[in-house]
């Protein structure tokens, strides 16, 4: 089997402009084997040039390697040049837009960041590279702190070890949030223009970019420590921290010291940055087994809680002792943590007086727990549901707190308009320290939440596919024949968000409301070949909520099986 002619020609054109000797050698070998009749090599080559890794509201993200469907120096150079052209077009020919660039500890992150700085500077923009590998929230902070027109973060966050990615933020009227339409499409047009008309080797470069001063990191540390200074009850708090082989610890340690919290017991095998992620197959705290070492450390140290950041420290996971769980510890769901943090934010607004509540908003993605709406109503605050992603959550008018169930929390919108796992960790430690001062634990705080607002329970069904057309077929089937009931409960209403609503832009989302107050939201994943269904119930007690949730899970699973 030989590679398709188009793939072979594309590979040769790629080789002519690839500045990376590693990916050039990789592609030369693959092309030689494919043209010698190696069927696996031919298929691999066809896959690498089957299209182009799309630039969208999540920027770029994909597996490292040679080819237009992989993350590499060619694709990143084209992205940097396209972004530069977009920014120059937006600001006018006489301006020199400023772009701040950060990078984490993944393979090639520093290389991609440096390439971007050189290409942006060569195009006439002012590029500022952060001084070393740092968490994503520091980059998001720096965009606002430096008054930059845009920011780039080179990271694949919690993706598998062989991935990398390229996030873009906008300053000015966008306040340092990630890009949303139409900016993503406009940037993508410029990237494609560069790819179609210029070789990467011909793009002007300059090493005259700036390196940000350490004072930028210090300002982030000070602002984040101020989120939740240690209460008296935090003294003696025993807790465990893991960076999951990412870049969170150095910055988090400085914030903890500044905020006055006791030092944690760290998971030694996971505390230093390591792009190979040797102790986890998937460096995402949500994945089964990812927090096993942290829980082992917690048992050995008799800790009160566990805090985990994902590799770029924009997400937070919290673990608590639970005698009913395997191993005696469990991870709180993203919704449980989000509701605790939302309650904390609402109380803080209430303490400032009635006037503060008039324009304060709690926000979450439409697949996150509706419990946040109950908190907002209890305190007379605004509530906003958005499409998934902090690019939307961060733009909620009057936002004082936002979260999504995938372990993302925005607790300090005045300084960081993105999820921030370090500031969220400080907020959780404040809650835990305050509870400890009253002789309580986070388990007690969760029970108090249920007693105050009702018991909310959530679950998720995730279907991973090899062929993404299966996902489209399931969504089409759901739209063509929506269910009249799920299990024994009638479906009272269905919202198809394909065309958007007065509050939401269009999205490939189906939301079903049930007669007992439960809710099901079905959508394709934005970053992986998965279909996801999010289940939410509310009841008087936790036991009743768990029972309803189990029945709903069985009914939705059966429905998706028939459609798939």
List the beta strands (DSSP E) in 58-130: 60-63, 98-103, 126-129
Q: Quote the CA–CA distance of 248 and 285 in Å, as a whole number.
A: 14
Number of alpha helices (DSSP H) and beta strands (DSSP E) in the chain: 18, 22
What three-state secondary structure class fits 533?
strand
Q: Quote the CA–CA distance of 82 and 396 in Å, as a whole number.
A: 28
Q: Quote the CA–CA distance of 169 and 153 in Å, as a whole number.
A: 8
Catalytic residue from among 68, 109, 116, 157: 157
Cα 382 from chain centre: 24
Structure-token pair, residue 264: 């944690």
Active-site annotation holds for 492: no
Structure-token pair, residue 544: 């009743």
User: Which residues, in sequence order, are CB contacts of 217 under 8 Å at separation 6+?
Assistant: 130, 131, 134, 138, 251
CA–CA distances in Å: residue 75 to residues 8, 9, 44, 55, 504: 18, 17, 18, 10, 32
The 3 state secondary structure assigned to 143-204 is HHHCCCCEEEEECCCCCCCCEEEEEEEECHHHCCEECCCCHHHHHHHHHHHHHHHCCHHHCC
Strands 239-242 and 265-266: parallel
CA–CA distances in Å: residue 66 to residues 10, 30, 202, 205, 345: 11, 10, 19, 22, 46
User: Which residues, in sequence order, are CB contacts of 70 under 8 Å at separation 6+?
Assistant: 48, 53, 62, 63, 64
Q: What is the DSSP letter of 1?
A: -
User: Which residues, in sequence order, are CB contacts of 362 under 8 Å at separation 6+?
Assistant: 342, 345, 346, 372, 373, 375, 376, 381, 382, 383, 384, 399, 400, 401, 402
Of 100, 102, 209, give the one whose Cα is nearest residue 145. Answer: 100
Of 123, 124, 125, 155, give the one whose Cα is nearest residue 139. Answer: 155
String of DSSP letters for 215-277: HHHHHHHHHHHTTSPPPGGGTT--EEEE-TTSSHHHHHHHHHHHHTPPPPEE-GGGSS--TT-
Q: Quote the CA–CA distance of 412 and 423 in Å, as a whole number.
A: 7
| Catalytic residue numbers, as ranges | 157
């Amino acid at each position: 089997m030989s590679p398709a002619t188009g793939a072979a020609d594309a590979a040769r054109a790629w080789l002519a402009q690839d500045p990376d000797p590693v990916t050039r050698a990789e592609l030369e070998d693959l092309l030689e084997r494919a043209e010698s009749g190696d069927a696996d090599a031919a298929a691999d080559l066809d896959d690498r040039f089957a299209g182009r890794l799309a630039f969208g509201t999540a920027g770029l993200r994909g597996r490292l390697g040679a080819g237009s469907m992989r993350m590499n120096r060619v694709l990143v150079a084209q992205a940097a040049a396209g972004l530069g052209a977009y920014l120059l077009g937006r600001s006018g020919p006489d301006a020199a837009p400023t772009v701040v660039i950060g990078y984490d500890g993944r393979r090639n992150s520093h290389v991609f960041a440096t390439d971007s700085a050189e290409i942006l500077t060569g195009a006439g923009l002012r590029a500022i590279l952060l001084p070393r590998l740092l968490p994503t929230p520091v980059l998001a902070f720096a965009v606002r702190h430096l008054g930059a027109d845009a920011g780039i973060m080179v990271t694949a966050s919690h993706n598998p070890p062989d991935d990398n990615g390229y996030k873009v933020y906008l300053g000015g009227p966008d306040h340092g949030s990630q890009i949303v339409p139409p900016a993503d499409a406009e940037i993508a047009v410029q990237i494609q223009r560069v790819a179609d008309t210029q070789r990467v080797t011909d793009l002007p470069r300059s090493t005259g970019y700036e390196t940000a001063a350490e004072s930028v990191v210090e300002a982030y540390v000070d602002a984040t420590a101020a989120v939740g200074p240690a209460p008296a009850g935090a003294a003696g708090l025993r807790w465990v921290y893991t960076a999951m082989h990412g870049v969170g610890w150095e910055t988090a340690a400085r914030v903890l010291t500044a905020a006055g919290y006791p030092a944690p017991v760290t998971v030694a095998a996971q505390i230093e940055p390591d792009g190979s992620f040797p102790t986890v197959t998937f460096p995402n705290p949500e994945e089964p087994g990812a927090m096993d070492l942290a829980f082992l450390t917690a048992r050995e140290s008799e800790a009160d809680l566990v805090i985990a950041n994902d590799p770029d420290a924009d997400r937070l996971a919290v673990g608590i002792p639970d005698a009913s769980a395997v191993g005696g510890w469990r991870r709180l769901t993203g919704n449980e943590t989000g509701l605790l943090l939302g309650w904390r934010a609402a109380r803080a607004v209430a303490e400032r007086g009635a006037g503060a509540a008039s324009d304060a908003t709690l926000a979450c993605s439409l697949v996150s727990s509706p419990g946040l709406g109950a908190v907002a109503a209890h305190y007379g605050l605004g509530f906003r549901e958005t499409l998934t992603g902090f690019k939307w959550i961060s733009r909620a008018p009057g936002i004082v707190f936002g979260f999504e169930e995938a372990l993302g929390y925005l607790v300090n919108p005045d300084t960081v308009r993105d999820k921030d796992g370090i500031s969220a960790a400080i907020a959780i430690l404040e809650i835990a320290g305050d509870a400890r001062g009253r002789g309580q634990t986070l388990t007690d705080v969760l029970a108090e939440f249920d007693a105050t607002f009702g018991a909310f329970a959530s679950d998720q069904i995730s279907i991973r596919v090899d062929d993404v057309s299966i996902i489209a077929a399931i969504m089409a089937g759901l739209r063509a024949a929506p269910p009249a009931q799920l299990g024994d409960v009638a479906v009272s209403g269905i919202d198809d968000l394909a065309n958007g609503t007065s509050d939401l832009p269009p999205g490939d989302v189906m939301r079903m409301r049930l007669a007992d107050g439960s809710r099901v939201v079905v959508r394709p994943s934005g970053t992986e070949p998965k279909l996801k269904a999010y289940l939410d119930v509310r009841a008087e007690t936790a036991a009743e909520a768990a029972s309803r949730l189990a029945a709903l899970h069985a009914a939705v699973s059966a429905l998706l099986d028939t459609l798939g």
